[in-house]
Structure 1
């Protein structure tokens, strides 16, 4: 890192969009979130402890969780993540997120970009020493992520197999999203002392179960099954780490949509 005192010149630039939030985050913040997301936020909150350092991935399921109260009753939360989804800056102002107990970058909100807040919040954050903007090579370095004790990675999934394999990128060969830093944060969180990884997804999409026996051919694997820790849907929490394949299937079927549980149970009994 270079301290500003080591620089000779600054070049100021004011763009037409100054003060605007990142389009994806700001746009989604204005929409009324689906009711099931409130349930997911509640379950994720149960897995977060006072003093944890969290990462929140970009996506339609993760981004609304802060506004839905996921962290409202927590204390001394640290933040080490790529972006700031709606509600994060508000929690910094309230002191809920303060980084006081972070193992590294102590007392800092460590991100690569700011977004998801009002113009006033963004201006407040822009000149605030609590916020530390770093390059992605540092932020997503697995050893850096793991250096924070009690690191909790919270990320989206498009689909999950009954063995715990996660895809956050494609359905078959249809590319839906990029992985970003998801894999690095999952690995780093699991290496962290007291760390956890939480994968979130709605149980269904357009009438189909997102929890499936097997992916379609060509589906990209984002998280291998052995690295999947907690999985949360609107129906509860599944804990997969150190479980057998049969136990993993049972955990995931329990949080699948009720309409699909019988079919998944039958499929699982034939495979596991």
Structure 2
């Protein structure tokens, strides 16, 4: 069947497409490197015609949204970030972006059962001969958005790679309007690891073995792990992850990753989105080794738990002596989103031979002063990203503190042992004051 005529009927200008948005509507902008760009500008131009339009976006990587720039009062447009990118963090600091807490693997169900979507604006790759548009490297929760949306507008971009997977395409029959664009997909280079990142990565490397199945989070330390794996002699590694990045391409190209020992999705790399440089996007384009799957599959602890020797490696901001982990805020200031760290911590624990690691430098400098990331209690207002009862192993440059099966005084002792030496006596005193220090604990 030829879909050319239907395509032509639905093809409009951006200005015409955004006329479907009404005051009070809930609008979706997509996610990650697939966030609406041209439609965002067209909608922003309608500011004086609209009131109380709520716009959601997940980890926007395509620049500051125009709707936030043109409406500092937020009377016309209210912008909401589901997982903060650097752009959204800056907007939040200015009072121009709200945050929506979530558990990432639950997000598709949020849309299907709890959230309203009036208009979805989704960037896609060009239509194929069967009438399908590919969501590219951001499958995540996109189909759930489209299922709930009353109106769907596609922002067709030839620079978006086509990816295999599940819930990765939408048919033209489901679409209301199409616009054509041609802008480069957002490139996000991996953070450059510093010496402490590399030290932590070397500690993690000792925990890996042939056949391990890996999940790597974002940041310099996970990148350091990826680089070390690529240059190691490890064999038959698997990848089942939230985010696919440049360092994973190197791991595959150097023969470390085959997926041959995976219990499920054997020989396949599984992710829910990809975010990197052009190197990553070229690698995943029409690559049958890579499956981009919805996040309620990739991040489901029950699915993760079916993979033997699953190793989860993520970052955090700080940890308190009770084992509460904060990965997203500094006090009440939102820095990032909850992300998938809780999903993978739970999944790794269920895995036969699995290991979960939350990594951080033991300290940080601010204003010429050194501060500990291991604290007596989290700062007032800080989010508890991972409950203390769910906490996996904590890693700093001084070693690993395994928290599973440990009482409060055992946790305190293990965490103080991997704290920066300058803060250990102070932390012992705090533990004593809080009643979680056993007098016979080693000093």
Q: What TM-score bracket applies, with the shorter chain setting the length?
A: 0.7 to 0.9
Describe the shift of the 1:232–1:177 C-alpha distance in structure 2 as closer, same or farther (beyond 3 A): same
Higher Rg of the two aligned structures: 2
Hey, what does 2:212 align to over in structure 1? 52
Describe the shift of the 1:70–1:243 C-alpha distance in structure 2 as closer, same or farther (beyond 3 A): farther
Hey, what does 1:260 align to over in structure 2? 423
The answer to whether the Cα contact below 8 Å between 1:109 and 1:130 also exists between their aligned partners in 2 is: yes
2:222 is paired with a residue whose SS is coil
Q: Cα offset for 1:88? A: 0.7
The answer to whether the Cα contact below 8 Å between 1:51 and 1:78 also exists between their aligned partners in 2 is: yes
Corresponding position: 1:242 with 2:405: yes
Within the candidate set 236, 241, 248, 1:88 is matched to 248
Where do 1:66-77 residues align within 5 Å? 66-69=226-229, 72-77=232-237
Describe the shift of the 1:79–1:208 C-alpha distance in structure 2 as closer, same or farther (beyond 3 A): same
Where do 1:1-272 residues align within 5 Å? 8-10=130-132, 13-15=157-159, 16=182, 18=184, 22-23=187-188, 26=189, 28-29=190-191, 31=192, 33-69=193-229, 72-119=232-279, 122-206=281-365, 207-271=370-434, 272=436
TM-score by length of 1: 0.87
1:62 is paired with a residue whose SS is helix
Length, aligned pairs only? 260
The answer to whether the Cα contact below 8 Å between 2:320 and 2:377 also exists between their aligned partners in 1 is: yes
Give the Cα–Cα distance (whole angstroms) in 2 for the partners of residues 50 and 71 of structure 1: 14
TM-score by length of 2: 0.55
Give the Cα–Cα distance (whole angstroms) in 1 for the partners of residues 205 and 292 of structure 2: 26
Give the Cα–Cα distance (whole angstroms) in 1 for the partners of residues 240 and 364 of structure 2: 30
1:225 is paired with a residue whose SS is coil
Q: Cα offset for 1:228? A: 1.5
The answer to whether the Cα contact below 8 Å between 2:201 and 2:221 also exists between their aligned partners in 1 is: no
Structure having greater relative contact order (Cα 8 Å, sep ≥ 6): 1
Give the Cα–Cα distance (whole angstroms) in 1 for the partners of residues 403 and 255 of structure 2: 33
Give the Cα–Cα distance (whole angstroms) in 2 for the partners of residues 249 and 70 of structure 1: 35
Deviations 1:10-55 (A, max 9, x none): 457413455x6642xx1x44x4x32111100001111222211111
Relative to structure 2, which stretch is displaced further, 94-103 or 108-117? Answer: 108-117
Residue segments in structure 2 that go unaligned for 5+ positions in a row: 1-128, 134-155, 160-181, 437-443
Q: Cα offset for 1:71? A: 7.1
1:227 is paired with a residue whose SS is coil
Describe the shift of the 1:73–1:268 C-alpha distance in structure 2 as closer, same or farther (beyond 3 A): farther
Give the Cα–Cα distance (whole angstroms) in 2 for the partners of residues 174 and 214 of structure 1: 17
Provide the aligned C-alpha RMSD in A: 2.2
2:264 is paired with a residue whose SS is coil
